[in-house]
Structure formats: C-alpha cells, structure tokens
Amino acid sequence: MGHDATLDWTHIVPVGKDILFVRNDGLFAVAHINTAGELVETHAGDDATPDWTHVMPVA
C-alpha cells in the first residue's frame, strides 16, 4: 500500500495483528505495520461482496 495507498476506504478494522481495509465497491486489502513503522500489504483483491454496512474487528 505504501505512499500510493488506495483512497476512499469505507471500513478499516483490526483483525488480530493485521488491519483490514474494505471499500464499498468490493476492493479490499490486508496489511500490518512492521517494526520500522511502515504499512506492509499482505493481501489484496477486488472481489469482496460490495456495499457492506458493518465490518467488525476480531481478535
């Protein structure tokens, strides 16, 4: 994700040690913050079901 991180996330929630980013159009990404303080993307896609109204954090 880095400096060119996608804009307009509609939900950003913690998932364990990761962060889930979701957009209403089905775009999603999973990332974590490394020991240097950088956001590191580990998964991404554009095929999540669109128009979520709630996304809940999990441990």
Q: How many structural domains does the chain have?
A: 1
Domain annotation covers residue 28: yes
Residue ranges making up the domain that contains 24 = 2-44
pLDDT of residue 57: 87
pLDDT of residue 34: 95
- Length of the chain equals 59
CB 20 within 8 A of CB 11: yes
Express each pLDDT in 35-58 by its tens digit.
999 999 999 999 999 998 999 988
Strand segments, DSSP code E, in 1-59 are 11-15, 18-22, 28-33, 39-45
Domain annotation covers residue 14: yes
Domain annotation covers residue 58: no
Confidence bin at 4 (pLDDT 50/70/90): low
Domain annotation covers residue 26: yes
Whole-angstrom Cα distance, residue 44 to residue 59? Answer: 20
Please indicate whether residue 26 or residue 6 has the higher confidence score (pLDDT).
26
Q: How far is CA 39 from CA 14, 15, 25, 30, 58, in A?
A: 13, 15, 22, 10, 19
Domain annotation covers residue 50: no
Asked if residue 2 has pLDDT above 60, the reply is no
